[in-house]
Amino acid sequence: MSEEIKAPEKKKRIFSAIQPSGTITLGNYVGALRNWVRLQDDYDCIFAVADLHAITVRQDPKEFKKNILEAYALFLACGIDTEKSIFFIQSHVHTHAELAWLLNCYTQFGELSRMTQFKDKSAKHADNVNAGLFTYPSLMAADILLYQADLVPIGADQKQHLELTRNIADRFNGIYGKTFTVPDAYIPEVGARIKSLQDPTKKMSKSDENVNAWVAILDKPETIMKKFKRAVTDSEARVCVGEGKDGINNLIGIMGSVTGKTADEITAEFEGKGYGDFKTAVGEAVVETVRPIQDKYNKLISDKAYLEEQYRKSAEIALRISQRTLDKAKKKIGYIL
């Protein structure tokens, strides 16, 4: 009797990246980063610190350098494991900028003009509406397509960029034959759009001038508690999901995403209790979630040699993989290699 031997199934490829702003928020963690960590065992994962994207807004050189390294250390502290995944710094792998240029020539002005992030950021930085801010989605497309990614774990705000990436890939493949894998977005059911604690109709964003609007993974426990205690709610004083209850809906979403409890379980638990108790409980749950990350981060950030070893090793592999795709695309266009 012969037993059928199956070849091991090839793991699907994942790519994602986060910009190294000084503040990595709870939104970044719950919407994206935490899923990266969870996906590492089942997928072939490639992650990056998107430092090329970050200069679409002006950066102070000293701060910027510090932020890049801190973001790298923080993502490792969150659980990115370089034994399982490739995790590099985007500017160390030159193929990204090169493919981005090529893809710019397959991306329409009208498509880029429709990007809500471009509209928002150009309104916010009216004195610096640079070409990079406009063509940013072509660079993001290059990041993803270079690695032939099947899935891209992101929060809901990046969905439009991912759709554009798919269109660019389809267009290129349509002209030259299959060159790029057309990727799917991987958006979590809970936590895909964590809202501002001060204006819960807007997403939680590190660029919000009101520091009470966002919670950073590296905020001190007392700061986190203070921010949750100040969170905007409503006058109904009932902990349940409902229309016109954006603040409470958001807090229930945050509580659910850090504890794994459903909205119904949370509602039952806080039946008859006031918003003060609930806000304290959400704050405590978040503090408990970030505490082990902060402990690990504090150890990692003081070991610069270890960090360098990790990002150099990963960049080397990323370059090898991405160069294959870049050469393939260039050949199809007609370049002499």
**Nearest distance, CB of residue 305 and ligand TYM, angstroms:** 27
CB contact at 8 A, 51 and 90: yes
Query: How big, in percent rounded to 5, are the helix, strand and coil portions of the chain?
Result: 55, 10, 35
Which H or E run includes 123?
A: helix 116-124
Rule CB under 6 A: is residue 253 a binding residue for ligand TYM?
Answer: no
**Nearest distance, CB of residue 94 and ligand TYM, angstroms:** 16
Both tokens assigned to 154: 């992101």
Rule CB under 6 A: is residue 203 a binding residue for ligand TYM?
Answer: yes
Q: 270 — phi, psi (to 5°)?
A: -105, 15
Q: Which amino acid is at 59?
A: Q
Rule CB under 6 A: is residue 183 a binding residue for ligand TYM?
Answer: no
Per-residue interface string for the shown chain with ligand TYM, residues 14-53, x marking contact by CB under 6 A: -xxxxx-------xx--xx-----------------x--x
Task: List CB contacts of 129: < 8 A, sequence separation 6 or more.
Answer: 122
How many Å apart are CA 281 and CA 130, to the nearest integer? 43
Catalytic residues: 121, 203, 206
**Nearest distance, CB of residue 140 and ligand TYM, angstroms:** 4
Which residue number, 160 or 223, has a Cβ lying nearer to ligand TYM? 160
Number of residues that bind ligand TYM (CB under 6 A): 25
Nearest CA-CA partner of 255 in 228, 232, 234, 219: 228
Rule CB under 6 A: is residue 152 a binding residue for ligand TYM?
Answer: yes
Mode of pairing for the β-strands spanning 13-18 and 44-49: parallel
Length of the chain: 337
Rule CB under 6 A: is residue 143 a binding residue for ligand TYM?
Answer: yes
Segment near ligand TYM (CB under 6 A); pick from 10-18, 225-233, 284-292, 327-335: 10-18
Per CB under 6 A, the list member of 23, 158, 322, 325 interacting with ligand TYM is 158
Both tokens assigned to 188: 């979590």
**Nearest distance, CB of residue 7 and ligand TYM, angstroms:** 30
**Binding residues for ligand TYM, per CB under 6 A?**
15-19, 27-28, 31-32, 50, 53, 140, 143-144, 152, 154-155, 157-158, 161, 192-194, 203-204
